[in-house]
Structure 1
Amino acid sequence: MTETSTVTPTELLDGSLTTPVGSPRYEGANIRTWIGFKHFMYLTEEAILEYFRERGAGAERLYHTYGLGLEIVDHSVSLPATLGVDDKVTATVEPGTPKPGHGAPFKVRLTVERDGATVTVLTGKVRVALVVLKDAPGDVRPVPAFLEPYTVPEVAALADAAGADADGPAGAEVAAGEVPGLLAPAGSNAFLWSWRIPYFYCHFSDRLQHSGYVRAMEEVVDRFLADRGISIRTMLVERGWIPVVSRARVRLLADAFMEETLHTVFTVQEIVKDVMYTATFDTYVHRDGRLVHTATGTIMHGYAVSRGENAGSLAEFDATTRAALLGAGR
């Protein structure tokens, strides 16, 4: 089934796909020639897009024919090996068993050929929803039956989006000036970064897309570490520590729109065996006097030693690093 086919398939999740997805973008080679976690997730996104294209339901066709926006709404990855800027990556996409109202689930594996062996560099899970666009161009056709189970009127209509804030601040009536104190209370370990959503983080002329949230996750980590006095450059220069990410997840809960202010909260939760830390990522917009929780996520982060007799091993956090990450004395 190709994108130009006139045949309408009867089932979206009808089999697996193995496809080359090329090399990571040069932009991702920030530390030596290793690729950062964001670009692993970009390659996974490319594999998912190709899966839909192969079934005659590519993002462009969905938009122009049915008025639907292909949206990655949940994306979790584990990164068991490094990825280099010149690696050629192959993706395998396996559909899962869908649940009503949750979108279309997939498992994804990225591999490279290295020293005569196939090496897995990523395993992940992705869910896709087809979101009805309010301003779709032209006359759109009715959504075909094979796509209906994965179609929602908005991201917030997903079954697992409701109730995500049972104990959180979303939904509370709050003045704009009260937002910082509510999201990052004094004495907490929460770090708040508020920023205007630019058009180039959005798609369908309207809302922040999944990859925009992945960018935000990467940047809020960078800002948090600098705020705590252990910036990426500081650790590179003074200790030869290279940042590494072993796991990451971003899940969408509601739409955030172009040029809204996205309040991004990053909170380190715990230190694992003094070599990794886990943290949460949550984003909100202040809309109509209320906070709307638009995304949530997690990340597991640490450092690798780049020089000396311990090069290649995970760096062990000292007391200064632990205190900075956990906000001791703040």
Structure 2
Amino acid sequence: MGIYLSNKEFNNVLKELGKEYRIYAPKLFKNKGRFSDTDLVRYDEVYSVEEIEFNKKSYYSPKEILLPITQTLFYFTEDKVIEPEMDDKKILVFLRSCDIHAVKRLDEIYLKNGVEDPYYKKRREKINFVLMECENSFENCFCVNMGTNKTEDYSLFVKKDGNGILVKVKGEDFTSYFDIGEEIEINPKFIEENKVKVNIPDNLDINIFKLPIWSEYTSRCIGCGRCNIVCGTCSCFSMQDIFYKDNEKTGERRRVWASCQIDGYSEVAGGFDFRSNQGDRMRFKVMHKIYDFNKRFGYQMCVGCGRCDDACPEYISFSCCVNRLNQEIKTS
């Protein structure tokens, strides 16, 4: 069962939740898009239902809530190390089904890959999911083929309905907040079909490294790294030690998002770069998403959100690349 709330009633609930939680959701930023007079949808803290963008896919994934773009791990002096204080508030984040599945992928990398990452774990333990329904499949999405179009992993389901909000409460921690409103039958509807279809080859192995299709990306890809930055499952970072000018023996260690598509990522000691051209980098990314991760954890890393296709300035399509790869293997 669920309840129906007016916008005003729902905003009152958000206000009460805000005492205990920081609430994040897709938010529309006017004239902040890539091109002139275009808008941008990205995740930000919200305080009312009017701020939440229900109808458009966010350009960036919500992973920066869990993995800040730049994160200070600790401060250091000559004789001690100090970890930064964490906000006491818990986190409530509005996510679509594919993005909930993307968090599962990050959990595998940061919590179940041999060693738990303590910084990720602290933030992860604070997060609760609010499921957002997709009315229609967005451009470039292929979540159905990736099996990420449905989920039961959420504490709340929220749907905008005219001048009100439909809410289904699953998490016991939220029951007291929603002990109001008209009780109705409500369940989320999930996307059953995408316009984009992706067929992942069943017999992938390292022999595909020699296929000629990768050389095409050497000339097409400009190595900007946008595909990695908007991706909900890319998890790589670099480490930086920042030394303060007033005392060069003190400073802080940060981790910063990195991209396997940009110069310097695969450079090793002595200056050798073992993936120096963009074709090799594209191959590495694609194989990591549909082969390496699957081989280790038993399911695909890519969730089919299509953001990499949305963001690429050279109109390189990940879904087309996988389908071409499938065709190449069939005919070879």
Shorter chain as denominator, the TM-score bin is under 0.3
Higher RCO (C-alpha under 8 Å, 6+ residues apart): 2
Give the number of the structure whose residues are more often strand, by fraction: 1
Give the number of the structure whose residues are more often helix, by fraction: 2
Q: Which has the larger radius of gyration?
A: 2
